[in-house]
Structure 1
Amino acid sequence: MTARALTGPVLVVGAGLLGTSIGLALRRHGVPVLLTDVNAPNLTLATGLGAGEEWDGVRDVELVVVAVPPDHLADEISRFLGCSAAVVTDVGSVKSAPLRQVAARVDAATLRRYVGSHPMAGSERSGPFAASGVLFDGRPWAVVPHPGADPGAVSLVTELARLCGATPVTLSPAEHDLAVARTSHLPHLVAALMAGRLTEAPEDHLALSGQGVRDVTRVAAGDPGLWQQIISANADAVAELLGDVRADLDRLLTAVREGERGSLGELLERGRAGTAAIPGKHGGPAQVLGELYVAVPDHPGELARLFSDASEIGVNIEDVHIDHDPGRPVGVVELAVAEDRVDLLQESLEARGWTTHR
């Protein structure tokens, strides 16, 4: 497919986290961006941040990007397909349900100008203040054409993803929805269930919270209202996967109660294999990593000094987690590095005065 240049103007409908970030990313490339939002304060903030100019409701545009909550996607997609000749995309996290709803409202010729998309980037925070022009850099961006989509429209939406710094990935609507159910929606629900159990925990239990529980529950901090809409829109795919998890939980419960170490080990091993299946850095195979824990005083400059020392030692830090010691003004920093570099990093850091452990 020949790439179609995106010259604009681009109209972004919805000046929240994603809409404002798209505006900021496009403005980096000089693409003119217009913004509209029913939330006047969000629109004022987004324009003030430089994400675009307020749309006057008249000016013609080349591309419309609908960035509104899931419950309103079909309404806005249909509205802009009907009132303009522009290509229309959206950045919602579910694709099949909005497509069905839009297809019931517009004719086949009009529907050709619609191509769904979904950037796999975001934050637990929301609103234009959380936006960033580099939010999508290096992130996958699903381009999800339906069978009747115009090839030129598909090319234009693909170019939108590239201009925003993302890596386009083409999927069908059904493939997309199953993929996000597995990699995003189900993990969010499991995290919410886990985090919900903490609300009943005594304070002395919570005092033992470490990085593990923070990792498992982090995404549960997302907006419950938004996630209700997302899960409801992708109910079939999510329900199927939840059924699989329920079967695993039943098996796990039996293994724990009956002391069946073999079954327990199989489930734990399957979990470890799943973590290895997640693509590694730059989309390559998962890298075997080792961990080193370093005590870091909790005052300015110490974390920078640790990273600088690791750089001088010649060891690349692949990931990092920080767990604050509740009893002392010290943070325990977990450094993930290539497994064959852990010994060198530990010896070299300790020679520079750092306190470490494995």
Structure 2
Amino acid sequence: MSDTLVGPVEIVGAGLIGTSIALACRRAGLEVLLTDPSDDHLRTASGLGAGRASAPGDRPQLVVVAVPPDHLAQEIGRALAGDAVVTDVGSVKAAPLAALAGVPGIARYVGGHPMAGSERSGPLAASAALFDGRPWAVTPHPESDPAAVGLVEELAALCGAVPVRLTPEEHDKAVARTSHVPHLMASLAAGALAGAPAGHLALSGQGVRDVTRVAAGDPALYGQIVAANAAAVGALLTGVRARLDAVIEALAAGDRAGVERVLGEGVRGTRAIPGKHGGTPRPTGAVFVAVPDHPGELARLFADAGESGVNIEDVRIDHDPGRPVGLVELIVDEDRAEHLLDSLESRGWVTHR
């Protein structure tokens, strides 16, 4: 078994993630073979330059299984019938591994999960840059060959990601906390909007869009993901239910301090999220800028912000429902916010903190 990734790499499943991995591999000069039951997906991914359709007699060095959770174990087992190292990109690791118990060649299997994606799906949404700077969980099991583990970590790095090694069980607990439960919470919040009076929805701002964005994902796909990680998700939801009950009881009792305790837990949670490049979060400030909704205005704003010498850490855009104006929120280091505000105002922008 080669310790170096030289290809070919076979991608089983030419959707968003599979095609993005294929494009990243092609960017690195590797030969890529594509397998998908959908001829449309194959034609689209091939047309994007992601590789060619696999053919009998192909001998991939590495197979990446990028199919929905319900089909993971079956496709991984099929791939292990050859002599390639096999990985996958599934959101749940323990359940597929358990289903593969006793399969010949299991030492060549190493689970993987790139922590990147989109509410969009299909090969047309793919990008070679999708994984740049993102964590990529690599989840070897006790029988995994060390050379196979190294090859999967090399794939993650080749795609621009940062490999993070976890056990399958720890991975599932981690993604339940950071992905699966937040997705369910977003869906519950978004569900409260369905059927709401139009007058209520007219008051929607960036906050509700931020909270509900991921709820636009495919329910069938996310239903598979959450169901496959039921134990870890259920345990966390029990804690969420207890906090929700505490809020309901505090509201009924007029206990504002009780509500504030739950809100305070939320503040502490946001501060626990790693900052840029995985470092400790730094205090940030926001500068709000009114931007006309015309071509070229955002480019002009960013050029003027660049002239100020202040680094933009994040950007959010909200649109004024009554005027052709967007409100752009520029997130910067707290001690640089006033300088940015003054600099933009001197260039004619309407700003506030």
**Equivalent of 1:284, from 272, 279, 285?**
279
For 1:160 and 1:307, locate their aligned partners in 2 and report how far apart those are by CA, in whole Å: 34
Cross-structure match for 2:33: 34
Cross-structure match for 1:352: 347
Counterpart check, 1:85 vs 2:80:
no
Counterpart of 2:48 in structure 1: which amino acid?
Answer: L
Deviation at 1:200, TM superposition (A): 2.6
Structure 1 outlier segments of 4+, above 6 Å: none
Aligned sequence identity (%): 65
Deviation at 1:39, TM superposition (A): 0.7
> Secondary structure at 2:180's aligned position in 1?
helix
Deviation at 1:57, TM superposition (A): 2.8
Unpaired runs of 5+ residues, structure 1, are none
Counterpart check, 1:233 vs 2:265:
no
Deviation at 1:348, TM superposition (A): 1.8
Counterpart check, 1:243 vs 2:241:
no
Counterpart check, 1:257 vs 2:252:
yes
Cross-structure match for 2:24: 25
For 1:71 and 1:327, locate their aligned partners in 2 and report how far apart those are by CA, in whole Å: 46
Within 5 Å, which residues of 2 pair with 1:76-115? 76-82=75-81, 84-104=82-102, 106-107=103-104, 110-115=105-110
Deviation at 1:196, TM superposition (A): 0.4
**Equivalent of 2:134, from 136, 139, 146?**
139
Q: Is the 8 A contact 1:65 1:89 kept in 2?
A: yes
Counterpart check, 1:183 vs 2:178:
yes
Deviation at 1:68, TM superposition (A): 0.4
For 1:29 and 1:352, locate their aligned partners in 2 and report how far apart those are by CA, in whole Å: 43
Deviation at 1:292, TM superposition (A): 1.4
Counterpart of 1:28 in structure 2: which amino acid?
Answer: R
Q: Is the 8 A contact 1:143 1:157 kept in 2?
A: yes
**Equivalent of 2:289, from 291, 294, 310?**
294
For 2:259 and 2:3, locate their aligned partners in 1 and report how far apart those are by CA, in whole Å: 53
Counterpart of 2:87 in structure 1: which amino acid?
Answer: T
For 1:256 and 1:37, locate their aligned partners in 2 and report how far apart those are by CA, in whole Å: 52
Counterpart of 2:21 in structure 1: which amino acid?
Answer: I
Counterpart of 1:101 in structure 2: which amino acid?
Answer: A
Cross-structure match for 1:266: 261
Deviation at 1:4, TM superposition (A): 2.4
**Equivalent of 2:197, from 196, 202, 206?**
202
Counterpart check, 1:308 vs 2:307:
no
Counterpart check, 1:54 vs 2:49:
no
> Secondary structure at 2:204's aligned position in 1?
coil
For 1:100 and 1:144, locate their aligned partners in 2 and report how far apart those are by CA, in whole Å: 13
Counterpart of 2:70 in structure 1: which amino acid?
Answer: D
TM-score (ref. length: structure 1): 0.97
- What is the CA RMSD across the aligned residues, in angstroms? 1.0
Unpaired runs of 5+ residues, structure 2, are none
Q: Is the 8 A contact 1:35 1:43 kept in 2?
A: yes
Within 5 Å, which residues of 2 pair with 1:318-329? 318-329=313-324
Counterpart of 1:5 in structure 2: which amino acid?
Answer: T
Counterpart of 1:315 in structure 2: which amino acid?
Answer: V
Deviations 1:299-349 (A, max 9, x none): 011111111111111111111111111111000111111111111111221
> Secondary structure at 2:338's aligned position in 1?
helix
Within 5 Å, which residues of 2 pair with 1:156-195? 156-195=151-190
Counterpart of 1:65 in structure 2: which amino acid?
Answer: V
For 1:332 and 1:256, locate their aligned partners in 2 and report how far apart those are by CA, in whole Å: 33
For 2:345 and 2:34, locate their aligned partners in 1 and report how far apart those are by CA, in whole Å: 53
> Secondary structure at 2:10's aligned position in 1?
strand
Deviations 1:76-106 (A, max 9, x none): 0011112x011111000000000000115x1
Q: Is the 8 A contact 1:86 1:113 kept in 2?
A: yes
Cross-structure match for 2:210: 215
Equivalent pairs counted in the alignment come to: 352
For 1:280 and 1:140, locate their aligned partners in 2 and report how far apart those are by CA, in whole Å: 13
Counterpart of 2:313 in structure 1: which amino acid?
Answer: E
Counterpart of 2:273 in structure 1: which amino acid?
Answer: I
